[in-house]
Amino acid sequence: MMPPPHKPLVYIISAPSGSGKSTLVSELLKMVPDLDFSISYTTRPPRRSEQNGKQYFFVSRAEFQQMTRDDEFLEYAEVFGHLYGTARRFLREAEQKGHDLLLDIDVQGARQVKQRLPDAISIFILPPDRKTLEWRLRKRSEDTEEVIQRRLVTATREIENYDKYNYILVNDQLQDSIQSLQAIVRSERLCRPGRTFSEEESKVLELAESCRLANIRDRVQPILASFAAPAVSGGTQ
């Protein structure tokens, strides 16, 4: 008898820009086997360090629109004036390879994927507070002052959606965040029925559990407050 087809676990990661998500995602992919990254399509022009087919597939608006007409996207959205979309084929490929799939998408995309794939596991990465986010955005020196201010406004709006996610990760100390993220991914894999857990696995489950929405609300409140009252943060450090 044929074994049942592999049903990939789909992990969604969202975060305001500047919260350190790219570093976390690349570290996670190095450490976790059989986890594929869904390379999105975008109409945004590539940054100097980016290569077509690595971080993104860079396409024209016309090409992107043709793909939407051909129903090639699991989800798509407009972010900062550019279109971004997740191709369905990554899910099919993960299924064929027996892998799981990681999506790095914004809150609009996350909402669409959750509607289509309710079992998808969503993780929201929060900066420790608004001042730190502002400082990180300035430090990377990629954007003009106007763009930084726009990113901060968008961040405030995105952060309000944190409670639609299954897990919240406060990216304060990079190494701790990487460990927690890895724990979340592993714990969801471990939680398949009929398993008993080793001591090490139980610790992984415990760490992941501490990031569950219901268990982290108290930690999130002061972060939200720092975004609600930006006047007190200000400075450039």
Give the C-alpha separation, 144 to 108, whole Å: 25
The three-state DSSP-derived secondary structure of 96-146 is HHCCEEEEECCHHHHHHHHHHCCCCEEEEEECCCHHHHHHHHHHCCCCCHH
Is residue 79 a contact partner of residue 106, using CB atoms and an 8 Å limit? Answer: yes
Q: How far is the CB of 192 from ligand 5GP (least distance, A)?
A: 27
Q: How far is the CB of 68 from ligand 5GP (least distance, A)?
A: 12
Sketch the per residue contact string, 40 through 59, with ligand 5GP: x for CB under 6 A, - otherwise. Answer: x---x---------------
> Could you say whether residue 86 binds ligand 5GP (CB under 6 A)?
yes
Q: How far is the CB of 177 from ligand 5GP (least distance, A)?
A: 17
- Interaction residues for ligand 5GP, span 96-125 (CB under 6 A): 104-106, 108-109
Nearer to ligand 5GP, 74 or 223 (CB): 74
- Interaction residues for ligand 5GP, span 24-43 (CB under 6 A): 40
DSSP designation for 3: P
58 vs 8, 44, 74, 119, 148, CA distance in Å?
26, 7, 17, 29, 23
Nearer to ligand 5GP, 86 or 171 (CB): 86
Q: How far is the CB of 199 from ligand 5GP (least distance, A)?
A: 36
3 vs 7, 98, 163, 191, CA distance in Å?
12, 12, 37, 20
Sketch the per residue contact string, 57 through 76, with ligand 5GP: x for CB under 6 A, - otherwise. Answer: ------------------x-
Give the C-alpha separation, 146 to 74, whole Å: 32
* Total site size for ligand 5GP, rule CB under 6 A: 14
Given the rule CB under 6 A, which residues bind ligand 5GP?
Answer: 17, 40, 44, 75, 77, 79, 84-86, 104-106, 108-109
